[in-house]
Amino acid sequence: MQFMLLFSRQGKLRLQKWYVPLSDKEKKKITRELVQTVLARKPKMCSFLEWRDLKIVYKRYASLYFCCAIEDQDNELITLEIIHRYVELLDKYFGSVCELDIIFNFEKAYFILDEFLLGGEVQETSKKNVLKAIEQADLLQEC
Amino acid sequence: MHEEVSRGTPDLSYCLADPMRIRRASFPKLQSLRPEVSGFKKAEPGGPGRAGSHGGGGEREGPDEAPTPARPGTRKCWGERSGVETESRMVVTSLKLQDLIQEIRGAKTQAQERELIQKECAHIRASFRDGDPLQRHRQLAKLLYVHMLGYPAHFGQMECLKLIASPRFTDKRVGYLGAMLLLDERHDAHLLITNSIKNDLSQGIQPVQGLALCTLSTMGSAEMCRDLTTEVEKLLLQPSPYLRKKAILTAVHMIRKVPELSNVFLPHCAQLLHERHHGVLLGTITLITELCERSPAALRHFRKVVPQLVQILRTLVTTGYSIEHSISGVSDPFLQVQILRLLRILGRNHEESSETMNDLLAQVATNTDTGRNASNAVLFETVLTIMDIRSAAGLRVLAVNILGRFLLNSDKNTRYVALMSLLRLVQSDHSAVQRHRPTVVECLRETDVSLSRRALELSLALVNSSNIQAMTQELQAFLESCPPDLRADCASGILLAAERFAPTKRWHIDTILHVLTTAGSHVRDDAVANLTQLIGGAQELHSYSVRRLYSALAEDISQQPLVQVAAWCIGEYGDLLLEWSSEETEPLQVEEEEVLALLEKVLQSHMSLPATRGYALTALMKLSTRFHGDNNHIRQVVSIYGSCLDVELQQRAVEYNTLFRKYDHMRAAILEKMPLVERGGPQADEEGKESKAAAQLSEAAPVPTEPQASKLLDLLDLLDGPSGNAQHPPPLDPSPAGTLAHLLDLPCAPPSPAPIPNLKVFEREGVQLNLSFIRPPGISALLLITITATNSSGDDVTHFICQAAVPKSFQLQLQAPSGDTVPARGGLPITQLFRILNPNKAPLRLKLRLTYNHFGQSVQEIFEVNNLPVETWQ
């Protein structure tokens, strides 16, 4: 995976995870263009689109779009599973998660993602293990 | 239930005893992010703790999955935002993160938000400089939020370093996050964290080591990777799976940055493959994949683990079901997909490895149901692998069939990947894909255009000589209803396929005709040339073609390519059109006048392109030899266009006119049927023949002539009375050289059929003059009069000249007469067009002066036209 973006229906960015080195300006440009492209899609269209030389896999959950950019040889269907797994993790952690949870606790969203993916690859396929790791880290936090 | 709001006391929001106890305003509408599979749950606003488990509902694992986290105090506490909060904010020097977020979201305009953030950033900067180090992580968190909104945050980079270096876990957590967000290899500062990472990797507690590895794998530059190789390697080998899996994936990243490091990590892979922990195994497979992709030597090296991989996957598929790793009954699809991918790389172009995995692939392909997305993902990867390695033929067919099944899946995404993959396979495994042709054709009806586009490409690729007719039917149906951006591709696809596989010429012509009528404006330019070529060559079908084209044209003259071809055909084979053929199921009775009228309609239509008009004009001309009636109508039209604004049309009209007048004896020869043009040779220019001949006859391009003042009669005395002086009409000079032309500045207004009756204005010894009137619909002030001089007497009328005068407020222009001789006994009459502009809508008065020679005498007649119908000027 090259990057993952979470954004609202109004195009506001809620999370950005970049696994490739790009300048701030480039990141902003990509974000802007991609958000526009995805928001322009009609609701019944399929979850995949080709954009520049990447494959984009996106899925909308309530008011949030989860958008991943993968390479040509990556499997789109499994990327959908990755997105779904991430949402499940958030859901488990926050308890019936909604966009506001992610807005007000964006650091937590990052921490959870970092326990699930590393360097753009899946590191842990057990939901239990991921949540356990977060739990332990949370316990360590001092005041 | 209200929560106590602290005023001015240290921020409690990160209090660890209750990490989830976060104050939150109650928002009336909260939408749950519950995965769609389990349905949506609306979060209830306000109200005391929504205690009770959420874990039960609709998880995909099933009934015995893990209960909700048992951590004490995990339940969120919904509290109402207290109104006094705003006051307390004034007292505290800077906002808490939650409050800041709240404020920013409350800002009504961009400017307000900017102001707020600027103020806050100032606070943050101040705090960085000399604030409490214990608060630093909070300040950075705020900065990171602001950064996500798009505001600059580079002044926080140093703070990241400080936080990372701090011993407190909270600091490190936020610091590393900041490093991942704010620092990248473009900034020199990034190297400064290398040391901290090194320390953390070697001496930190597990979570800290985890953070360090994570950061390194996200933003680590090549230098950093080189510096930290040893530490990462060490972590690779120590027992905790938590760290091993992270270290392995960090190694993947390092190899991507510094390929030479492959040598460091390669030796460990063999050992790691024996791991049972899914995360570690997954990381290992990923690492091996990366190594193999980078180096052919590594690829060769790892071919020997193919049996081991096969075994791992087999175990996973058959007995490896574990609740915590499974998704909808599929054991760890992430791991399966990764293994399959590695197998693909190892089996590519390698007979032996491919053979080893054959059975396994068949097993996976058959044992996995195509139910949910997870299983489809595994099947998809299996298909990709089968197609890429040297697999047995049967296996390939199995793979294509899986894709065929995907096409029937109700999930759009599955259909999409199937279409994409089939498109890639259609060349290599054509017959296997052909079997799924009906399903592919079904996909043409997709509502999502990205799917229907793929379906179209695939359908076109599947057309062959045996299915051409059925496919063309489907594609034509699609053409009628498809979205506009696919029209051009579809049209040209059909035409191309027709060209390659047409069973009969007649079918071919029918197909092209159909495409032209449905999507005429979208076909490529050479379609017209191709079709005329095709028709020209099929002599037995001339009659059929011209009839079909005539009918099509009669219905619709808007599709330019169709009109052009039809016009050409009618011109060439007009005589066949009139014949009544008994073979036709629907005999078409066509009158000459109808045909001429239709062509005129095309000429006059504003939808016709200049090229189309050219076709129509030439066709009309050709009909003058094909049809048997008198050619008055044709001559009339042709002469009108002699003054058309379009130079091309004007030239043609002038040349044709000349053909009529001066070279009538050659007309038939020039306009005879076209010979068949060699395909690929210079495309026959419609007027190639005619214009070449005509060019020799006529002079060069039209030249405006001065009104010949000397020839102008003084008509001033003709129209006395209240209307005052008559105008001096500038008569055209009918010079014997044959070059006519006077570029009129009036637009070539198409005369419309006018109901105004003709008027006979003069008769003397068999010589008659008739006027016909036309009021073009678009221009209300314009009146076109055509005078026709006929001769029923026994002697020729020669040197015939007609001049006209109108009252002062009118403008009169005379076009060139068709000639100056009317042969005896009903010979070809002379026609001339007058253009009268009547802007004031004044009553029309017209005086004519005729001079000619008849029966050896010169005749001159001057008279005013009486009984002019009132419609001519109202």
Confidence at B17, pLDDT banded by 50, 70, 90: very low
Degrees to nearest 5, angle at CA A39 with A37 and A43: 115
> How far is residue B143's CA from residue B133's CA, in Å, rounded to a whole number?
15
Mean local confidence (pLDDT), B855-866: 88
Q: Please tell me which residue, B716 or A31, carries the higher pLDDT value.
A: A31
Residues of A in contact with B416 (CB under 8 A): 46, 48, 76
**Terminal C-alpha separation, chain A:** 35
> How far is residue B22's CA from residue B25's CA, in Å, rounded to a whole number?
10
CA distances from B538 to B500, B509, B551, B674 (A): 17, 10, 19, 13
Mean local confidence (pLDDT), B729-744: 36
Smallest CA-to-CA distance from A7 within B148, B332, B705, B635 is with B148
Using only C-alpha atoms, chain A has a radius of gyration, in whole angstroms, of 15
Residue B160 C-alpha, separation from nearest chain A C-alpha, in angstroms = 14
The β-bridge relationship of strands B782-791 and B797-805 is unpaired
Using only C-alpha atoms, chain B has a radius of gyration, in whole angstroms, of 44
Q: What is the DSSP string of chain A?
A: --EEEEEETT--EEEEEE-S---HHHHHHHHHHHHHHHHTS-TTS-SEEEETTEEEEEEEETTEEEEEEE-TTS-HHHHHHHHHHHHHHHHHHHTS-BHHHHHHTHHHHHHHHHHHEETTEE----HHHHHHHHHHHHHH---
Smallest CA-to-CA distance from B416 within A132, A130, A57, A61 is with A57
Is pLDDT above 60 for A140? Answer: yes
Report pLDDT for B872.
81
> How far is residue B188's CA from residue B223's CA, in Å, rounded to a whole number?
11
CB contact under 8 A, A81 and B148: no
Within an 8 Å CB–CB cutoff, is residue B139 touching chain A? no
Report pLDDT for A132.
94
Q: Searching chain B, which residue's CA lies closest to the CA of residue A103?
A: B101
Pairs of CB atoms within 8 A across A/B: 225
> How far is residue B468's CA from residue B499's CA, in Å, rounded to a whole number?
11
Report pLDDT for A92.
94
Q: What is the mean pLDDT of chain A?
A: 93
Is pLDDT above 90 for A61? Answer: yes
Q: Searching chain A, which residue's CA lies closest to the CA of residue B12?
A: A143
> How far is residue A96's CA from residue B243's CA, in Å, rounded to a whole number?
30
Confidence at B776, pLDDT banded by 50, 70, 90: confident
- pTM surpassing 0.80? no
C-alpha of B505 from chain center: 32
Window 99-138 of A: residues touching B by CB (8 A cutoff) are: 99-101, 103-107, 110-111, 114, 118-119, 121-129, 131, 133, 135-138
Q: Searching chain B, which residue's CA lies closest to the CA of residue A1?
A: B218
Report pLDDT for B344.
94
Is pLDDT above 60 for B73? Answer: no
Residue B149 C-alpha, separation from nearest chain A C-alpha, in angstroms = 7
Is pLDDT above 50 for B701? Answer: no
Is pLDDT above 80 for B22? Answer: no
CB contact under 8 A, A104 and B27: no
Within an 8 Å CB–CB cutoff, is residue A84 touching chain B? yes
Residues of B in contact with A142 (CB under 8 A): 16, 168-170
The shortest CB-CB distance from A44 to any of B22, B145, B448 is to B448
Degrees to nearest 5, angle at CA B664 with B661 and B665: 150
Q: Which two tokens stand for residue B264?
A: 């460091």
SS3 assignment, position B50: coil
Q: What is the DSSP string of B264-332?
A: HHHHHHHHHTT---HHHHHHHHHHHHHHHHH-HHHHHHHGGGHHHHHHHHHHHHHT---GGGEETTEE-
> How far is residue B99's CA from residue B723's CA, in Å, rounded to a whole number?
90
Q: For A78-137, how does the pLDDT look when each residue is reduced to its tens digit (9 = 90+)?
A: 999 999 999 999 999 999 899 999 999 999 999 999 999 999 999 999 999 999 999 999
Q: What is the mean pLDDT of chain B?
A: 77
**Terminal C-alpha separation, chain B:** 87
Report pLDDT for B715.
42
Q: What is the DSSP string of B809-826?
A: T-EEEEPPPS-S-B-TTT
Confidence at B63, pLDDT banded by 50, 70, 90: very low
Residues of A in contact with B325 (CB under 8 A): 125-126
CB contact under 8 A, B221 and A21: yes
Smallest CA-to-CA distance from B68 within B49, B55, B84 is with B55
Residue B860 in contact with residue B850, Cβ under 8 Å?
yes
CB contact under 8 A, A133 and B332: no
Within an 8 Å CB–CB cutoff, is residue B282 touching chain A? yes
> How far is residue A72's CA from residue A54's CA, in Å, rounded to a whole number?
7
Is pLDDT above 90 for B674? Answer: no
Within an 8 Å CB–CB cutoff, is residue B157 touching chain A? no
**Which of B11, B13, B32, B33 has the highest number of chain A CBs within 10 A, making it the mutation to test binding with A?**
B33
Q: For B454-498, how does the pLDDT look when each residue is reduced to its tens digit (9 = 90+)?
A: 899 999 889 888 888 888 888 888 888 888 888 888 888 888 888
CB contact under 8 A, A139 and B16: yes
> How far is residue B18's CA from residue B745's CA, in Å, rounded to a whole number?
90
Report pLDDT for B64.
37
CB contact under 8 A, B380 and A75: yes
Question: Quick count: other Cβ atoms within 10 Å of Cβ B84?
Answer: 10
Phi (first) and psi of residue A54, to 5 degrees: -110, 160
ipTM score above 0.90: yes
Report pLDDT for B47.
35
CB contact under 8 A, A91 and B384: no
Within an 8 Å CB–CB cutoff, is residue B341 touching chain A? yes
Within an 8 Å CB–CB cutoff, is residue A51 touching chain B? no
CB contact under 8 A, A45 and B450: yes
Residue B186 in contact with residue A20, Cβ under 8 Å?
no
User: Is residue B768 within a helix (H) or strand (E), and if so which, with residue range?
Assistant: strand B767-774
> How far is residue B654's CA from residue B639's CA, in Å, rounded to a whole number?
7
User: Residues near B778 by Cβ (< 8 Å), separated by ≥ 6?
Assistant: B749
Report pLDDT for B723.
39
Residues of A in contact with B170 (CB under 8 A): 140-143
Please give the share of chain B, as a percent, with pLDDT higher than 90. Answer: 23
Q: Please tell me which residue, A32 or B655, carries the higher pLDDT value.
A: A32
C-alpha of B412 from chain center: 21
> How far is residue B852's CA from residue B860's CA, in Å, rounded to a whole number?
7
Report pLDDT for B96.
81
Window 354-413 of B: residues touching A by CB (8 A cutoff) are: 373-374, 376-377, 380-381, 384, 412-413
Q: Which two tokens stand for residue B2?
A: 């209200």
Q: Which two tokens stand for residue B725?
A: 């002086």
CB contact under 8 A, A21 and B219: yes
Smallest CA-to-CA distance from B417 within A139, A95, A12, A48 is with A48
**Which of A19, A81, A108 has the highest number of chain B CBs within 10 A, making it the mutation to test binding with B?**
A81
The shortest CB-CB distance from B36 to any of A61, A78, A122 is to A61
In B317-423, which ranges are E strands? 326-327, 330-331
The shortest CB-CB distance from A142 to any of B169, B283, B374 is to B169
> How far is residue B520's CA from residue B562's CA, in Å, rounded to a whole number?
6
Is pLDDT above 60 for B23? Answer: no
Is pLDDT above 70 for B309? Answer: yes
> How far is residue B859's CA from residue B762's CA, in Å, rounded to a whole number?
13
Is pLDDT above 80 for A36? Answer: yes
Confidence at B82, pLDDT banded by 50, 70, 90: very low
Phi (first) and psi of residue A122, to 5 degrees: -70, 130
Report pLDDT for A30.
95
Q: Searching chain A, which residue's CA lies closest to the CA of residue B55?
A: A92
Confidence at B588, pLDDT banded by 50, 70, 90: low
CB contact under 8 A, A80 and B413: yes
Q: B610-626 vs B647-661: helix axis angle to the nearest 10? A: 10
Smallest CA-to-CA distance from B522 within B544, B548, B494, B500 is with B494
> How far is residue B631's CA from residue B667's CA, in Å, rounded to a whole number?
12
Report pLDDT for B31.
45
Q: For B537-586, how does the pLDDT look when each residue is reduced to its tens digit (9 = 90+)?
A: 777 778 888 888 888 888 887 888 888 888 888 888 888 877 766 555 56
Q: Which two tokens stand for residue B827?
A: 């010979």
Within an 8 Å CB–CB cutoff, is residue A22 touching chain B? yes
Within an 8 Å CB–CB cutoff, is residue B155 touching chain A? no
Q: Searching chain B, which residue's CA lies closest to the CA of residue A41?
A: B448
Which residue's structure tokens are 């609306």?
A: B42
Smallest CA-to-CA distance from B781 within B753, B757, B746 is with B746
Burial class (CB in 10 A: 0-12, 13-18, 19+), B857: exposed
Is pLDDT above 90 for B370? Answer: no
> How far is residue B166's CA from residue A25's CA, in Å, rounded to a whole number?
31
Residue B574 in contact with residue B584, Cβ under 8 Å?
no
Is pLDDT above 80 for B696? Answer: no
Residues of B in contact with A28 (CB under 8 A): 150
Q: Which of B142-146, B204-208, B255-259, B565-569 comes out lowest in average pLDDT?
A: B565-569
The β-bridge relationship of strands B767-774 and B330-331 is unpaired
Mean local confidence (pLDDT), B617-646: 81
Residue B409 in contact with residue B370, Cβ under 8 Å?
yes
Report pLDDT for B33.
52
Q: Please tell me which residue, B387 or B666, carries the higher pLDDT value.
A: B387
Q: Searching chain A, which residue's CA lies closest to the CA of residue B181?
A: A17
Smallest CA-to-CA distance from B443 within B430, B431, B454, B427 is with B454
Q: Which two tokens stand for residue A70?
A: 């993968």
Going across the sheet that includes A13-18, the strands are A13-18, A3-8, A64-70, A54-61, A48-51
**Which of A23, A48, A65, A78 has the highest number of chain B CBs within 10 A, making it the mutation to test binding with B?**
A78
Report pLDDT for B612.
85
The shortest CB-CB distance from A131 to any of B30, B69, B341 is to B69
Is pLDDT above 50 for B287? Answer: yes
C-alpha of B109 from chain center: 37
Residue A78 C-alpha, separation from nearest chain B C-alpha, in angstroms = 5
Report pLDDT for B729.
38
